[in-house]
Amino acid sequence: MGSYGIGITRLVAAALEVKSSAAGLRWPKSLAPFTVLIITPKEGSKESLQTQDAGKELYLRLNSMDQLKNEVLWDNRDHLSIGRRLNDAKLTGYPVIVVIGKLYLEQPPKCEVHCVDDNSVHQLEIGDLQQFVSQQKYLPSSS
């Protein structure tokens, strides 16, 4: 006998089919594996020497926010380039991708924020990042 009801796998597939594109998955915020992904420089690069603790600090700061508790992931595959990890992140469908790279070396330190839903890229000071990410449109409860 077969079941022709609406199952959980059909719902997930339908949600992905509606929102995604050839460039990558776009999960509904309530189904995304994590809300924020942090990418730090490749090991051995000139940026990595000056940003060693920045990724960990940012991870702890964002994860301490009530709205983002357990919704932040740090991509620590630092043997891969930033570009490769950014491409992987877009294919996986993380809603907000934070890149700590050469902009972090400026004064004041900045990061690059990629918002997958609207294909926008923002350059933000590290201090403004928490406020930006906590906007209702980026949080899982707003879907």
Q: What pLDDT, on a 0 to 100 scale, did the predictor assign at position 12?
A: 78
Over the stretch 17-44, which tens digit does the pLDDT of each residue have?
776 777 777 888 888 889 999 999 999 8
**42 close to 79: Cβ distance less than 8 angstroms:** yes
Domains and their CATH numbers in the chain: 8-138 (3.40.50.800)
- Mean of the pLDDT values across residues 116-129? 90
Q: What pLDDT, on a 0 to 100 scale, did the predictor assign at position 4?
A: 74
20-34, 57-71, 81-95, 116-130: least confident range:
20-34
Assess whether the previous peptide bond of 108 is cis (omega < 30° from 0): yes
**129 close to 97: Cβ distance less than 8 angstroms:** no
Q: Can you tell me which residue has the tokens 């600090």?
A: 57
Q: For residue 133, what pLDDT band results from cuts at 50, 70 and 90? A: confident
- Closest by CA to 111, choosing from 102, 120, 119, is 102
What pairing do the DSSP bridges indicate for beta strands 72-75 and 36-39?
parallel
Question: Percent of the chain beyond pLDDT 70?
Answer: 92
